Amino acid sequence: MEENIGTALVVGAGISGIRSALDLAESGHRVILVDRAPHIGGILSQLDYQFPNDRCGMCKMLPMINRDSSSQYCLRKGLFHENIELLLSTEPVSVQGEAGHYRVALRKKSSLVSEDLCIGCGECIKVCPVEVPDIFNAGFTARKAIYLPVPHRIPNTFVVDTDSCTMCGACEPVCPTGAIRLSEREHRQFRILVVDDELIVRDSLKELLEDEGYSVDMAESGAVALERLSGQKYNLMLLDIKMPGMDGVTVLRKAKEEFPDLTVLMMTAYATVETAVEAMKIGAIDYLLKPFETDLLIPKIMGIYNEFEAARARFVDVEAIVLCCGTGFFNPADGKDTCGYHTLPNVITGIEFERIVSGTGPCGGQLVRPSDGKRIEKIAWFQCVGSRDLQNNADFCSNICCMYAIKEALLAKSSTNGEAETVIFYMDMRTFGKSFQRYRDKAQDEYGVRFENARIHSVVPEDGTGNLLVRYVDTCGKIHEECFGMIVLATGQRPVKGTAELAGITGISLNPWGFAETAPFSLTETARPGIVIGGSFSGQKDISESVIQASAAAACASGAILASGKSPMPESLQETVSPELLREPSRILAVVCTCGKSILAYTDKNMLSEKFKTDPEVKNVIFSERICTAGGWDELVGHVRKYKPNRLLIGACLPYMYGRKLKELEKETGLAASLTEIVDIRTPELRFSGENTGENQAAVVIEHLLGMGLVKLKHAKPSTAPSLPVTRNCLVVGGGIAGMRAALAIADSGYRVDLIERSECLGGNLRWITETIEGFSTQTLLNDTIQRIEKNPKIEVHKNTNVLASFGEAGLFMTTVENSEKEVQTIEHGAIILATGGKETEITAYGHGTSEAIVTQKEFEQRITARSLDPSTLSSVVMIQCAGTREEPKNYCSRICCTVSIKQALFLKKQNPEIAVYVIYRDMMTYGFTETFYTQARKAGVIFIRYTKDRKPEVMVSGPVPKVKCFEPTLGEDVEITADLVILAAGVIPELPAGLASAFGASCDTDGFFLEAESKWRPVDSIKEGVFACGLALSPRTIAESVATAEAAAQHAIRIISRNRLPFGKVTAIVRHSLCSLCRQCIEACPYGARILDTENEQILVNSVMCQGCGICASVCPNKASVIEGFSTRQILEVIDAAICI
């Protein structure tokens, strides 16, 4: 079976890459996750505060089900999952093959530091003479050529920046573990043998080639050359033809006989070309005529070297490739308009600001100017720097800058107790995401962030103060001059470095601005099947959109893997603990690692050993070296076999690295993984290193830690790792495009789906839409999708059916449905996807309903489709944006209406260029690449008039045609427009009845949309495990975005229904019913909603799949009735005792 397991390659280990990799791994595929950086986390590793709660939260992506398969700590530090192989500093260099079978060559850039040996002591940076700006801190601080890529990484091994390293070698001798190997530099490993009888030729060649970084040896004659060849492996021989004694051709012939793989380049001055050609027949690769130019020689050798490099690449066979390569940023210093960036020190970019307020940044989290350390009293953000700028070939919006500018302004406010004055200069505030509009309003009204609708061109320094003067015109036309202490530029997106090369390798296409292009109606699929895009690689996205798209990419990749005939990994066997084990007295084996410069090397091992052995349960104490290496581990396994302990204590470094090894150990020797304790003895050693009393103190601390581990192990209970059976099918409620695509994604993975649709036909909103703004036909999409649904034997469609009731939990839900004939049916399913959709808001504002000439966007679309409206008869059309939303009580942006208006305006202008089209708007939300259509509309002569919500346009319907009166802010006066047609952008409301949501244990937000478990990191999940949502029920979105949420939700459901049994985490809460007084405090306290009151049996029940073992219930329980397995009171108290007394 082993060889039939599918593998996916995920390129890029930012948050999208991690999300995709985890999704694939959790559904049983093997994943190779590569990143060219020496750390994971991508750009998020530099950002400490995320919207909306100014926290990180990356760890929320970790598996919730079967969570013991992965490391369970900060994802910014590292990721360890059983099914994921993480390769850092690695890039794909070639992709061969086709859908279902790709062979990818991966090249790893050597960091010149052995990860196995480096203990992160930092001795090397003390001696390194090279200082370069630290990219991690956006250049505000300096680092050495050997450095830690991010301060919080685990394992904290150093890497050498080969671009800036001078290879002086100072660090090599100071490394206590000999981890630094500068000779591993790629070029150094390429060994060249120069064979020439003339000393001057040999010497000059050696010097030249060594300057290029190669390792060079010399031989003065053929005989010496052959001798050298037999003693050492060479990659290239430069061979002179005319030599006394043995001539070149003979040497070549002999060398080729013995080393047929050796590459030989002939050199000749006197010999004829015929001889050289003869040499090539024997096997020389080429010849050079002496005297040769270095310009000729170096490229030739480079060519041979590249082949050598390529051959060293690791080849992997994968069924699917997910590209999550992220995005780059515009550098204002390169633009036509620099805003003083790089010339004025206090003009910075958004990412630099994030570093300034970061605790690990140059100012330790204080909001001061790095240039002079002054406190910042007034700070401005300039939006759209390098976006929406035709002069810089950027006819697109960068999606996220508006929101991060607001977040940064609020950060500035909070770090100065609200004293800093903050101003955001914007063109349109694009708050198009869920909850974004309320966040903006809060920033403005509650925190006093000033929003100024203006674009500023130039920044002038104020004399001597470092402050910055700007000049701008406000909406009324008044010109202002203002002085700021700091200016933050919201720099736009650019394709990440290497995008074009990667596109060349993988054969995907790029859009006109160089970003990866996806297929119509998909945010993930490319022109090549099996190669999909995740995250910001196809245009910058915020966290929630990135993870949605990454999950969708995982769904597509998973589909491609299964389509190629591969299958997921079989579920690991149930851990069963024999009853004898519980009765057996403990036999503890303690193995302590003494590797490297371990403190334990200096302490008295015998004394430590004796101390442990005073405990009768400790049978053996062994000191070992390098447990982390393969050899060290084998030794440990040998000890386990020899002493046959039933509990194992290991003192070593990096405890989280041992998860997989312990499981293997359990398989090999039967020693339960749950009865193993690993104590981190490395961290105290590092902490106390360098202090005078350091070694003694560290030794004491390590002794305590080992003692604590021992007590913990003694009281550990063998876990039974229970699990729940799973009903392996899924229920999808809603037959719109999101519901249909979710159903298809699940059915294509081989699981059954029941698709519930309350009306008589599938399609939802797609039925009244004909075309997207890009010109893709939605009817073709609809018909194709319905056909695929009908043909799929795994999907059962229930039309005219409503959900009556449901109960159950992840793994098994029982849902009762009723059709139009009042027939009731109960469906059992393992997961549920709510795709109930949304609809256009019904409005009465702006005279809607009083005149035939006042319509909503949907009504307009329907009239055009029905041909009941002829554009050639119209002379003036007014569109009013935000007619139904973006103010209380529906204070959210409907995201799609601006694009729809632009689409309709362009349609009208195309049909009849004489129509005057007026769009009355608040902020044009043409985010991302739809911005280009906004430009097109402007060019086509559509007139745009901005309004604010306190001065709305009025529609008057007294005469034969309506008149629209509005305030024109640029002119500062009211205008009146006679309109043949008024189109209202009514906005989107969800159609998710609160009763339906709560039937499945989900809930709705204040606007009636599905309430996610976490708006950023778990955007399609409900707090209740096994319940997911997609499409308009989640939030307003376009067709392609709805499809992405559908695929993401499907992928999350597959994580559950692809298993026969759902394994729980080892650490979960249990209730001692005899002690429980049913006070229900624990139910309220549980952040995962894992507890319910069983009224029938009068018991509190814990859903072990949903319980994450956080322990809050145990701390609120007044009776100690709530207990966390593996953390019994007695055990913890004894651990504390062990920590404080000796």
Minimum CB distance to other proteins, residue 912 (Å): 11
Which of 245, 359, 477, 507 touches other proteins (CB under 8 A)? Answer: 477
Torsion angle in degrees (nearest 10) through CA of 127, 132, 135, 136: 30
| Window contacting other proteins (CB under 8 A); options: 205-213, 521-529, 706-714, 974-982 | 974-982
Which of 250, 360, 865, 978 touches other proteins (CB under 8 A)? Answer: 978
Task: Select 933 or 1010, whichever has its Cβ closest to other proteins.
Answer: 933
Which of 944, 1000, 1009, 1064 touches other proteins (CB under 8 A)? Answer: 944
Minimum CB distance to other proteins, residue 957 (Å): 16
Q: Is 479 in the site for other proteins (CB under 8 A)?
A: yes
Q: Is 471 in the site for other proteins (CB under 8 A)?
A: yes
x-or-dash string of contact with other proteins, 333-372, rule CB under 8 A: ---xx-----------------------------------
Task: Select 320 or 916, whichever has its Cβ closest to other proteins.
Answer: 916
Report the run of H or E that residue 806 belongs to, with start and end. strand 801-809
Q: Is 940 in the site for other proteins (CB under 8 A)?
A: yes
Minimum CB distance to other proteins, residue 872 (Å): 14
Cβ–Cβ < 8 Å for 569, 28? yes
Minimum CB distance to other proteins, residue 978 (Å): 5
Which of 472, 515, 907, 921 touches other proteins (CB under 8 A)? Answer: 472
Distance CA 447, CA 425 (A): 17
Hey, which residues does 192 pair with through a beta bridge?
A: 216, 236
Q: Is 977 in the site for other proteins (CB under 8 A)?
A: yes
Which tokens go with 962? 């309506």
Torsion angle in degrees (nearest 10) through CA of 23, 27, 31, 34: 0
Which of 943, 957, 1093, 1139 touches other proteins (CB under 8 A)? Answer: 943
| Window contacting other proteins (CB under 8 A); options: 362-370, 382-390, 608-616, 1131-1139 | 382-390
Minimum CB distance to other proteins, residue 950 (Å): 19
x-or-dash string of contact with other proteins, 507-536, rule CB under 8 A: ------------------------------
Distance CA 1002, CA 1010 (A): 8
Minimum CB distance to other proteins, residue 500 (Å): 25
| 3-state SS, residue 540 | coil
Q: Is 976 in the site for other proteins (CB under 8 A)?
A: yes
Which tokens go with 371? 């240039």
Distance CA 731, CA 814 (A): 10
x-or-dash string of contact with other proteins, 201-220, rule CB under 8 A: --------------------
Strands 90-98 and 286-289: unpaired
Which of 230, 371, 458, 759 touches other proteins (CB under 8 A)? Answer: 458
> Which residue pairs, CB below 8 angstroms and at least 24 apart, start in 170-173?
170/127, 170/128, 170/129, 171/123, 171/124, 171/127, 171/128, 171/146
Report the run of H or E that residue 200 belongs to, with start and end. helix 199-211
In angstroms, the first-to-last Cα distance of the chain is: 52
Q: Which amino acid is at 680?
A: D
Q: Is 457 in the site for other proteins (CB under 8 A)?
A: yes
Distance CA 250, CA 248 (A): 5
Distance CA 16, CA 205 (A): 48
Task: Select 336 or 583, whichever has its Cβ closest to other proteins.
Answer: 336
Minimum CB distance to other proteins, residue 787 (Å): 42
Residues 386 to 425: which contact other proteins by CB under 8 A? 388-391
| Alpha-helix runs per DSSP H in 89-187 | 123-127, 171-174
Task: Select 454 or 508, whichever has its Cβ closest to other proteins.
Answer: 454
User: What is the crossing angle of helices 694-715 and 1129-1140, to 10°?
Assistant: 160
C-alpha triplet 451, 455, 456: angle, nearest 5°: 110
Q: Is 939 in the site for other proteins (CB under 8 A)?
A: yes
| Cα distances (angstroms) measured from residue 784 to each of 517, 522, 735, 1111 | 22, 14, 14, 50
Distance CA 1027, CA 727 (A): 14
Minimum CB distance to other proteins, residue 58 (Å): 35
Report the run of H or E that residue 304 belongs to, with start and end. helix 294-312
Cβ–Cβ < 8 Å for 429, 923? yes
| Window contacting other proteins (CB under 8 A); options: 358-366, 470-478, 682-690, 1080-1088 | 470-478
- DSSP secondary structure of 612-629: HHTSTTEEEEEEES-TTS
Which of 946, 952, 1037, 1052 touches other proteins (CB under 8 A)? Answer: 946
Task: Select 459 or 755, whichever has its Cβ closest to other proteins.
Answer: 459
| Window contacting other proteins (CB under 8 A); options: 603-611, 660-668, 807-815, 931-939 | 931-939
Cβ–Cβ < 8 Å for 536, 543? no
Q: Is 938 in the site for other proteins (CB under 8 A)?
A: yes
| Window contacting other proteins (CB under 8 A); options: 182-190, 449-457, 496-504, 528-536 | 449-457
Which of 870, 914, 1084, 1098 touches other proteins (CB under 8 A)? Answer: 914
Distance CA 457, CA 1000 (A): 53
Which of 720, 935, 1099, 1128 touches other proteins (CB under 8 A)? Answer: 935
Minimum CB distance to other proteins, residue 405 (Å): 16
User: What is the crossing angle of helices 737-748 and 543-563, to 10°?
Assistant: 40
| Window contacting other proteins (CB under 8 A); options: 490-498, 541-549, 565-573, 943-951 | 943-951
Task: Select 479 or 866, whichever has its Cβ closest to other proteins.
Answer: 479
Look up tokens 């299964």; give the residue: 562
Among candidate residues 431, 384, 276, 417, the one with its CA nearest the CA of residue 922: 431
Task: Select 473 or 630, whichever has its Cβ closest to other proteins.
Answer: 473
Minimum CB distance to other proteins, residue 393 (Å): 10
| Window contacting other proteins (CB under 8 A); options: 275-283, 683-691, 736-744, 973-981 | 973-981
Q: Is 427 in the site for other proteins (CB under 8 A)?
A: yes
Task: Select 550 or 908, whichever has its Cβ closest to other proteins.
Answer: 908
User: What is the crossing angle of helices 694-715 and 605-613, to 10°?
Assistant: 30
Q: Is 455 in the site for other proteins (CB under 8 A)?
A: yes
C-alpha count within 13 angstroms, C-beta hemisphere, residue 938: 11
Distance CA 1024, CA 1039 (A): 26
Number of amino acids touching other proteins (CB under 8 A): 41
Hey, which residues does 999 pair with through a beta bridge?
A: none
Which of 974, 1084, 1098, 1137 touches other proteins (CB under 8 A)? Answer: 974
Look up tokens 């008869």; give the residue: 873
Task: Select 977 or 1069, whichever has its Cβ closest to other proteins.
Answer: 977
Task: Select 397 or 997, whichever has its Cβ closest to other proteins.
Answer: 397
Task: Select 472 or 1088, whichever has its Cβ closest to other proteins.
Answer: 472
Task: Select 500 or 971, whichever has its Cβ closest to other proteins.
Answer: 971
Residues 861 to 900: which contact other proteins by CB under 8 A? 875-876
> In angstroms, how far is CA 104 from the centroid of its own chain?
21
Q: Which amino acid is at 719?
A: S
Task: Select 287 or 934, whichever has its Cβ closest to other proteins.
Answer: 934
| Cα distances (angstroms) measured from residue 916 to each of 879, 920, 942, 967 | 11, 13, 7, 18
Distance CA 255, CA 241 (A): 14
Which tokens go with 1033? 């029920």
In the complex, the residues that contact other proteins under the rule CB under 8 A are: 336-337, 384, 388-391, 427, 454-458, 471-474, 477, 479, 875-876, 914, 916, 935, 938-941, 943-944, 946, 968, 970-978
